[in-house]
Structures are given as structure tokens and as C-alpha cells.
Amino acid sequence: MFIKKIAVLFSGSGSNLEAILSKIHGKIFNGVKLEVVVTICNKPDAYGIKRAKNYGLETIIIENKNFATREEFDSALVSQIKKHSVDLVVLAGFMRILTPVFTSQIRAINLHPSLLPLFKGACAINDSFNSDMQVGGVSVHWVSEKLDGGKIIAQRAFSREKDMSLEAWEAKIHAIEHEILPETIVEILCK
């Protein structure tokens, strides 16, 4: 049996990390066992650290504020990731813009809460909600040196409901994220 190793990077609550751990970690798909072997976070107080611990994973904390440049931070990330010989890095709510120091060396996918190429950046949920778009959605894409600009791997959309609140919009996005990200990882690693 083949084992494919995954690194997950996150910055916050870790709900997408939890979706990955509960749906695919330690499970077999098409004869391939998927294992999250390392979790890395840039915020020492992120709730996702507790979620990882619930699955027996100790999170490596690399605080970006301790580095003079983005490149130095990315170099530290790359160094840690390479120690684990992973097959895929998953950015699951990792709120950092990565430089070519990272993107040229690491095979990574990112989850983004809009239908790219629309609404790039950190305010995608609010920007898409406040637009005239009658659909919202989620994208998974390859990480490149362009912010939210790598090749799109998967997308899923939903229709705006009449009088939909921002909270309902955001909840719908998160529900889709928790489905599409694990599915995409399986698609990439277990074809």
C-alpha cells in the first residue's frame, strides 16, 4: 500500500484542518493511505492547534513576526516542510502571502472562499457578499507566486438566497470548504 504524506498550514480556528483530519487522515482511497504528518501554524494561540492535538498531532509554531522579511519566514517554513518528505502541502486558512522562496520549492494547494479569479485576498467573503453576484463559492487552486492566482483545481458555487445575511453566506462558504478541500486532496493524491 502506498502512503501519501500531507502537511497542513493554518492560522486560525482550524475548521478546515479538522475537516481534513476527520474525513481523510489515516484513511485509504484507491489503495493509497493518506496521512497528515505535520501541521504548521504562524499564530501560537490559534484554536486549530487544539484540533490537531485531538488527532495526536503536535503543531509546529513558526511566528512570522519573528522574521525580518517574508523570505526569511518562508525559508523557515520550507525547511520544516522538507524535514517531513510530504507529497502535498495544504494551505487551510493560512493567512500569509508566500514568496517565490516557498512557491518555487513546495507543491501546495490553497483553499479560497470565492469563485476565483474574482475576489482575491483576505476579504473575499465580505467582498463577494457585498457584490451584485448572485452566486458565491469556493475555489481550490495551486499555490503560485501570484496571490490567489495559481491554476484552479476545483470550484463549487451556491446561489444567493433572497435576503441572505452575511452570516448565512459565510456559513454556506465554510460548509462547502469542508467538503471540497478533502475531496480535492483525494483527487490529487489518490488518482
**Percent of the chain having pLDDT more than 90?**
99
- Find the mean pLDDT for residues 19-36: 98
The model's confidence at residue 1, banded by pLDDT at 50, 70 and 90, is confident
State the virtual CA torsion across 171, 146, 76, 10 in degrees, nearest 10: 0
Q: Is the pLDDT of residue 99 over 90?
A: yes
Give the pTM. 0.96
Tell me if residue 25 is catalytic. no
Q: Name the strand (E) or helix (H) holding 150.
A: none
pLDDT, mean over the chain: 97
Residues of each annotated binding site: 14-16, 70, 95-98, 110
Ordered domains of the chain (ranges, CATH)? 2-190 (3.40.50.170)
Given 25, 112, 141, 178, which residue is catalytic?
112
